[in-house]
Amino acid sequence: MEAPFQSDPGKTPQEMRSGASRQILLSLIVIFAGVGAYFVLFRVPQRSTSESSRLAFGAQERAYAPNLHLENFAMKQAENFLNQEVKIVEGDVLNAGGQTVLALDATIEFRDALNQIALRETRPLLPSPRGGLKPGQTAHFEISFDHVPNSWNYQMPIVTVSGMKLAGNRK
């Protein structure tokens, strides 16, 4: 009668160690490949906390910002294709100044019951339209948020201009 878990009588101890070493090496390769694939496929690039906008907001842009009137705000709720609740902030931006605005970023802040910031994101309002927003023109925008915190106070978020590209600027 054969004993259970008996080693293969045809293999020497050195051959058995060599096979175990190959298995360990193969296991390590699979683990490192899995970790590498995770970082390549699922890692979200971190945005610098000092980077508040992707567009310039220097002295010239700050001086022009009061000419941009954000108005007619409304909020909708919808469901995305994953059956998740999505909040949509919409409104209009009027260029009351004398220059054409080629692109515009805004920072949107959702507040909580204590009027503290529950969520802050910078998003494009005018993502480089064909001719830009000319003086006197109004453009409509819609921005969706799929992860608004439960601590949000259900009031209209605060929307402020945080970056822009004016015609004639090379930034």
- Over residues 116-130, the mean pLDDT reads 87
Listed in sequence order, the DSSP H helices in the chain are 13-42, 59-64
pLDDT of the residue at 84: 83
CA distance 171 to 163: 11
Please indicate, yes or no, whether residues 33 and 71 belong to a single structural domain of this protein. Answer: no
- Provide the number of structural domains found in the chain: 2
In which domain, by residue range, is 18 found? 12-43
Please indicate, yes or no, whether residues 73 and 37 belong to a single structural domain of this protein. Answer: no
Give the rounded percent of residues in the chain with a pLDDT score beyond 70: 76
Evaluate whether residue 48 is within a structural domain. no
Each residue's pLDDT tens digit, 55-68: 889 999 999 999 99
Residues forming beta bridges with residue 93, ordered by sequence position: 70, 139
Please indicate, yes or no, whether residues 67 and 109 belong to a single structural domain of this protein. Answer: yes
Please indicate, yes or no, whether residues 70 and 150 belong to a single structural domain of this protein. Answer: yes
Listed in sequence order, the DSSP H helices in 10-136 are 13-42, 59-64
| Sheet containing 138-145, strands listed edge to edge, beginning at the edge strand earlier in sequence | 68-79, 85-95, 138-145
- CB-CB contact of 29 with 131 (8 Å): no
Evaluate whether residue 138 is within a structural domain. yes
Evaluate whether residue 90 is within a structural domain. yes
Phi and psi at 13, nearest 5°, equal -60, -30
Record the pTM: 0.65
The gap from C-alpha 49 to its chain's centroid, in whole angstroms, comes to: 13
Each residue's pLDDT tens digit, 13-65: 666 666 777 888 888 888 877 777 666 666 544 444 334 447 889 999 999 99
User: pLDDT band at residue 135, thresholds of 50, 70 and 90?
Assistant: very high
pLDDT of the residue at 53: 43
